[in-house]
Amino acid sequence: MVGIFDNPGLLLFFIFSGVLVAGALGVVFHPNPISSAVLLVLSFFALAGIYAVIGSVFVATMQVLVYAGAIMVLVVFVLMLLSLHDEGIAKLWNHPLKKVLVLSVVVLLAIVLIHSVKEGIPNTEASPKGYSESGSYEYTLSKSEEGKVGVIAEGNTAAVGSSMFLDYLLPFEIVSILLLAAVLGAVILGKKNLGKKTEEGEP
């Protein structure tokens, strides 16, 4: 069995995974929303590192440019718009029922994580989609027929784009609508808070 220190890719995976989990916990439990946003950026960079380790360079690049860049600017803008203040989690721990609920969810997620690590990647015998037999990035758009050559998208970017807009088009559009609804909801909540401040005579 190959040790972790004998496999640089596996070692980097565990390092990035640890940073990702720590950053995600910081996002949830940190009392300052702006600090939580910064920790979320750290989590995005760690996730991009994981994508780079497994060979998905294009996805790692998009993770940094889109999520760690554009999306986080939008998140910070919304936080500023809502004028959120420091709020601790002391109120949460004053209710025993909420304590039990939170700890139960944490234990359940820990069990699922440990079980997933032990089981490993499922369906290892099936050929992965987007790869050729030689290990290069290929996505078959149309199968070859007699006397005709099939259309194959070659390269990491082409394989990811083909799979996204052919196999996962509906989930992609649903996520887009969900993000749009979240932005509109944040703007509406921000306008309500601004209206209350104006009525109360606050600057």
| pTM for this entry | 0.60
* Digit-coded pLDDT (tens) for 3-59: 566 677 888 888 999 999 999 998 888 888 778 888 888 999 999 999 988 888 888
Domain 1-83 in CATH 1.20.120.1200? The answer is: yes
Domain range annotation of the chain: 1-83, 135-191
How many angstroms separate the Cα of 112 from the Cα of each of 26, 69, 99, 166, 192?
20, 31, 20, 31, 40
